[in-house]
Structure 1
Amino acid sequence: MSAPIVKGWCPGAHRPMLSGDGLVVRVRPFRAELTAEQALALCDLARRFGSGALDLTSRANLQIRGVDAEDHPALLAALDALGLIDADPAVEAHRNILMAPDWAKGDLTHRLHDALLTTLPRLPDLPGKMGFALDIGTEAWLQAASADFRFEIGTTGLILRADGAEGGRPVTEATAMAALVEMAAWFVDTGGLRAGRMARHLQTGSALPADWQVAPPRPASAPVEPGPASIGTILGAPFGALDAAALSKLIRDSGATHLRLMTDRLFLLRGARVTEAEGFVTGPGDPAMRAHACPGAPYCPQASIETRPLAMRLAATARTDHTVPLHVSGCAKGCAHPRAAAITLVGRDGRFDLVKDGAPWDAPHAAGLDPRTITDLEDL
């Protein structure tokens, strides 16, 4: 089997990516939130132009799957009419912004988000996978999420931290965007484009200026779990898979006013109290939320084997409630969880290689495992 093809960019609305079931069209809702009307319309578009399947990504975006190429222009026009995409494809491609899940209208997270939107065109042309985190809510929820430039709360207040650095640079709301422009320019000027991501660039020995690392961020908060929240209900989507018809029914039945997207395959229904929802996780400790798995074969042309049936079966055998020890990947790219896990199973030529305490591209501890013989996570 040949090595997986690493695109180096993420699909977008203007620039979809071809997968095994058609085009994947990614929608980046502004501030990671849709009104109920927008969410219902998006579900309708997924059924009209796609396969009826949506993905909730690790960066709190939504992807419409199974779109035919000839339908893409009409889908793009419909998304534009809903106010869900940027007019400029270059801005849309780089609008990878993670929001603190408890942001409120007019607060610092909201204000920095809007300032960042106006700053994006001033940044150098960064690699498509690079992103930004506004982790300045009441707790530090986003430290484990994928982002390269991180606005956080440190010992001195607001800081800008390069991903992979132990400390950050103290800033104010007034100086935050100028500091971001300076850090992005430093990344490019010191050869960061070759590395592709900030943490990888720092690992190669590129040294940040000393005064950019003086303030450590506050400790990470405990993982968020599905269940009641102060402004609604948090629900989980196993493997990030959302059935458009089921989501539409959930929104209508619950009376939710907004759908707020979160990391870790979670979403918040604002203004709703939900205790049961078929196809979704409504409470903590559900085995379905303990594992990562990409769509696998036949949905991805780089995968040679199904992933999610095995991941679901093994997740049920895990004896842990709050961590995600398992990752089942269709290939060595590891799209669903591109980092280390306690147990990673990597598809190769119709079987699986086993990696312990590593990432999908690391050397395996065992190779060529038949999925029918893998029955208990604790035995691996």
Structure 2
Amino acid sequence: MSDTGYEIKGWCPGALRPMMSGDGLVVRVRPFGGRLRRAQADGIASLAAAHGNGFLDISSRGNIQIRGVAEARHGALIEGLRVMGLIDPTPEIESRRNIIVTPFWNKGDDTEILTTALTQALALPDMPELPGKFGFAVDAGANPVLQDASADIRLECDAGGGLILVADGMKRGKPVSLDTAVPEAIALADWFSQYKGTATRMKAVIAAGAEPVGHIVPRQKGTFVPKPGYTPNGAIVGLAFGQMSVETLSTLAKHGSLRLTPWRLILVESARILPVIEDVITDPSDPLLRIIACTGAPRCAQALGETRKLGSTLAPHLAAHQTLHISGCTKGCAHPRSAPLTLTAQKGGFALIKDGKAGDTPSVSGLSPDELKDYI
């Protein structure tokens, strides 16, 4: 228990190691390569309906969470996921396989090759021991799109198209090849484990002054803005707060395999025209896409206030340029980084933080839900 009154787990839930929340177990499924085949997506929907509360979340690391699972139903759920090829051999391997993949890849390209090789390497027994939230990003397209996603070790391309290895927090990377990229990434993870001290993320080690050798190539500055729309790889659609019902997931799966993203958007492979689907956002200007909200009370036992219903109420009041983070407590699980506007639930109402995180010092405190629209 922290001095703020909430419990800091220090790790993310998995499928084999779920986390208890206010509405039951949260079972996080980490799709291999960030992709769910149609049958897998439809199967997850069926399992979530049978063993959960019928709702699923897309996490900020591109994973899918089955909510409201009773402890007595967990074993049957895992067996169903295992049959579909969605379960790692052990909880330890599952925890290490924390990989975010750009959704804009094509079969047989560098991204797919690197992701497969990294997945295999992280399953080996001689991997360095890493903190529970430590992760990797494979972003090997011509232009990086994952630079704002949560990752500690990155594979991306420089301006000349060369592959570089990046320690999060550095402005330069180490040149690598398709053959050396994954061994070098594992070596960088080992370097982190030697220098980390009490740190749990790469950026903190870099900020403290340690730097790995050979990182000499300037990174590209990413300019990608994620939004719904049609791409050469398929249709990108949004979900309010990253949440959907099992019916929505099953319907999306009818139109193509699904690639999950860290932006709480889903890419439906090869889709060119999608019909209207309940709870699916296709309008890139929809203000709900600019609100980040955790599950809140009562589904999270540590949340001090309701969040998502409030987000829907406040959405029409957001200016076109504004982004709003609503957090049920000062942990800020849904968005651990700074946001232009953050509302944090307190025992006496909501606190407003400008250009900060959920736990930062607020500019105004004790606001009632009815007052909030006047402050954003």
Could you state the TM-score of these two structures normalised by the residue count of structure 1? Answer: 0.94
Give the superposition deviation at 1:73.
0.8
Given candidates 229, 237, 251, the residue that maps to 1:249 is: 251
Give the partner amino acid of 1:68. Answer: A
Q: Distance in 2 between matches of 1:115 and 1:361?
A: 38
Give the superposition deviation at 1:210.
4.5
Give the partner amino acid of 1:309. Answer: K
For the pair 1:129 / 2:133, whether they are aligned, the reply is: yes
Q: Could you say which residue in structure 1 is the equivalent of 2:228?
A: 226
Q: Distance in 1 between matches of 2:40 and 2:210?
A: 44
Q: Could you say which residue in structure 1 is the equivalent of 2:191?
A: 186
Q: Could you say which residue in structure 1 is the equivalent of 2:276?
A: 276
Q: Distance in 2 between matches of 1:193 and 1:132?
A: 20
How do 1:1-380 and structure 2 match up within 5 A?
2-120=4-122, 121=124, 122-155=126-159, 157-190=162-195, 192=196, 194-203=198-207, 205-212=208-215, 214-252=216-254, 256-272=255-271, 273-320=273-320, 325-376=323-374, 379-380=375-376
Q: Deviations over 1:25-46 (max 9, x none)?
A: 0000111111111111110000
Q: Distance in 2 between matches of 1:339 and 1:51?
A: 29
Give the superposition deviation at 1:275.
4.5
Give the superposition deviation at 1:193.
5.1
Q: Deviations over 1:319-362 (max 9, x none)?
A: 225xx621000001101111000111111115111111011121
Q: Distance in 2 between matches of 1:315 and 1:194?
A: 39
Q: Distance in 2 between matches of 1:334 and 1:98?
A: 20
Give the partner amino acid of 1:162. Answer: A
Give the superposition deviation at 1:219.
2.0
Q: Distance in 2 between matches of 1:337 and 1:114?
A: 28
Residues 36 and 259 of structure 2 are in contact (CA less than 8 Å); yes or no, is this contact kept in structure 1? yes
- 3-state SS of paired residue (1:124): coil
Q: Deviations over 1:124-143 (max 9, x none)?
A: 11001011011112421100
Could you state the TM-score of these two structures normalised by the residue count of structure 2? Answer: 0.95
What is the root-mean-square deviation in Å for CA atoms of aligned residues? 1.6
Give the superposition deviation at 1:85.
1.2
Q: Distance in 2 between matches of 1:49 and 1:210?
A: 49
Give the partner amino acid of 2:212. Answer: P
- 3-state SS of paired residue (1:195): coil
Q: Distance in 1 between matches of 2:212 and 2:51?
A: 49
Gaps of 5+ in 1: none
Give the superposition deviation at 1:243.
0.6
Deviates more, 1:7-16 or 1:217-226: 217-226
Q: Distance in 2 between matches of 1:84 and 1:131?
A: 19
Residues 365 and 118 (structure 1 numbering): CA distance in 2 closer, same or farther, change over 3 Å? same
Give the superposition deviation at 1:2.
4.5
Give the partner amino acid of 1:318. Answer: L
Q: How many residues align?
A: 370
Gaps of 5+ in 2: none
